[in-house]
A and B are shown apart, each in its own frame.
Chain A
Amino acid sequence: EEGKEPAALSALARVPSLPLIQMLLEQVPSVWPCCHRKQLASGQPLRYMLNLYQNVADRAGRPRQNRKLGANAVRLVRPFAKTRQPGAGPWYMQTLDYHLNIQPGMEHLVRATVVYSKTLLLAHAQLFCVVQLAGEAGVPKLSPPRRGKRNALVSSRMDSWEERDITSHSLPWAWDSKKSQLLRLSHVCIRLGPDDGSEPEVGWEKTASLNDPFLLLYLNDTRKGLRAKMGKASLKETPDGPVLSRKAR
């Protein structure tokens, strides 16, 4: 209950009838490598995941019966590196690299998608964007909206995020060694309106950065693998036979 001593609460975590609390404790990250949580999770990615959460779980955290995720875990992955590609005319392009970091034997990739904003608003222009997978040849198929719909697009910018299935492209990466679990995407945007040959607008990179496409990895946490790992960690052989030991937190 609220207001009780923290010691009593930590005791709750040791109640034998709640073994998965202990499993959760095992997963608590002890060190945060770079930034505060608020910096790590903010903006559109957080909004997207909160929206996903509200759709598949109730306020108490219970998964809804009618949820259609097809997986028991969804990981949102942001790019760890990006390179601006020099372009001319109305084209803007950057290359984005993602670490998939799927743990074979513990996580099974069911589906992968990339989520990106179809439109970006700059101070004096609007960009229409797509993502291309590495290896996809040719000019991206951009079909900018007709002029008459422009205002509608601006006002519905929050709804302009699109989820594109890239499962068939991602699967070969998912089962290989950790080093090769890299996925490269091109984020290509075109300025709406006539091409006047001017330089890309200042602020494009900042706006694009705030709206970087992100991956959604739909995973099944394979409990068998998880239990095997926990078993190995906690069961140690001694001359007198196996003994159970608690992993240091």
Chain B
Amino acid sequence: QAGNLILDLPSYSQKTSAEKDECALHSFRVSFNQLGWDHWIIAPHRYNPKYCKGTCPRILRYGYNSPNHAIVQNFINQLVDQSVPRPSCVPYKYSPISVLMIEPSGSILYKEYEDMIAESCTCR
């Protein structure tokens, strides 16, 4: 019950410099023109796939949706063997993107691509 543990550690709720680098979702706006795809993608003009970056905290709180395995791996890193890495900061949920594009045949294609935008992060 990581959430309860946090309540028992008052100093944990204070933001430290390390916590500022904690695993979090970041924005990254890019245009299809910058990616060199604007000759075949009509819409949208911009794309924000977002990305997850940061260190996974020593106590994996509930908001990270980390599986039990990640919590155990964290304990192993702290208490048993530091050669076992801490869990990694990776996307947890994604949302799709709709793309309107030209095909070489001249057809126009609307297509929804799954898992194209990161919506939240997890440590696992």
Q: Secondary structure of the B side of the interface?
A: strand
B114 lies within 8 A of chain A by Cβ: yes
One of B29, B42, B103, B107 near A2 (C-beta < 8 A): B29
Which residues 27-83 of B have a CB within 8 angstroms of A?
Answer: 28-31, 34-37, 39-40, 42-44, 46-49, 51-52
| C-alpha gap A72/B108 in the complex (Å) | 14
Are B111's CB and A221's CB within 8 A?
yes
One of B31, B48, B90, B103 near A60 (C-beta < 8 A): B48
Known contacts A62-B117, A74-B110; is A57 also within 8 Å of B98 by CB? yes
Are B111's CB and A45's CB within 8 A?
no
Known contacts A2-B31, A15-B51, A29-B103; is A61 also within 8 Å of B44 by CB? yes
Query: How many residues belonging to A are interface residues under a CB distance threshold of 8 Å?
Result: 50
Contacts of A99 in B (CB 8 A): 105
One of A6, A32, A33, A46 near B108 (C-beta < 8 A): A46
Are B34's CB and A2's CB within 8 A?
yes
A244 lies within 8 A of chain B by Cβ: no
Contacts of B42 in A (CB 8 A): 41, 46, 49-50, 53
**A200 vs chain B, min Cβ distance (A):** 28
Query: How many residues belonging to B are interface residues under a CB distance threshold of 8 Å?
Result: 44
Contacts of A72 in B (CB 8 A): 111-112
Contacts of A60 in B (CB 8 A): 44, 46, 48
Known contacts A53-B98, A57-B44; is A1 also within 8 Å of B110 by CB? no
A235 lies within 8 A of chain B by Cβ: no
Contacts of A74 in B (CB 8 A): 109-111
B115 lies within 8 A of chain A by Cβ: yes
Contacts of B99 in A (CB 8 A): 61
Interface string of B88-122 (1 = CB under 8 A from A): 00110001111110111111111111111110000
Are A75's CB and B114's CB within 8 A?
no
| C-alpha gap A128/B81 in the complex (Å) | 80
Are B106's CB and A78's CB within 8 A?
yes
Which residues 25-76 of A have a CB within 8 angstroms of B?
Answer: 28-29, 31-35, 37, 40-41, 45-46, 49-50, 52-53, 56-57, 59-63, 72-76
Q: What are 6 inter-chain pairs, A to B, with CB distance below 8 A?
A: A53-B43, A61-B44, A61-B47, A63-B97, A63-B98, A99-B105
Shortest Cβ-Cβ A-B pairs, 3 listed:
A57-B98, A61-B44, A76-B108
CB within 8 Å of B: which residues of A?
A: 1-2, 4, 6, 9-10, 12-13, 15, 17-21, 23-24, 28-29, 31-35, 37, 40-41, 45-46, 49-50, 52-53, 56-57, 59-63, 72-78, 99, 101, 221, 223
CB within 8 Å of A: which residues of B?
A: 28-31, 34-37, 39-40, 42-44, 46-49, 51-52, 90-91, 95-100, 102-118
Give 13 new A-B contacts, CB below 8 A, not counting A18-B51, A28-B40. A19-B115, A21-B49, A24-B37, A24-B113, A33-B105, A50-B42, A52-B110, A56-B110, A57-B98, A61-B97, A62-B98, A63-B96, A73-B112
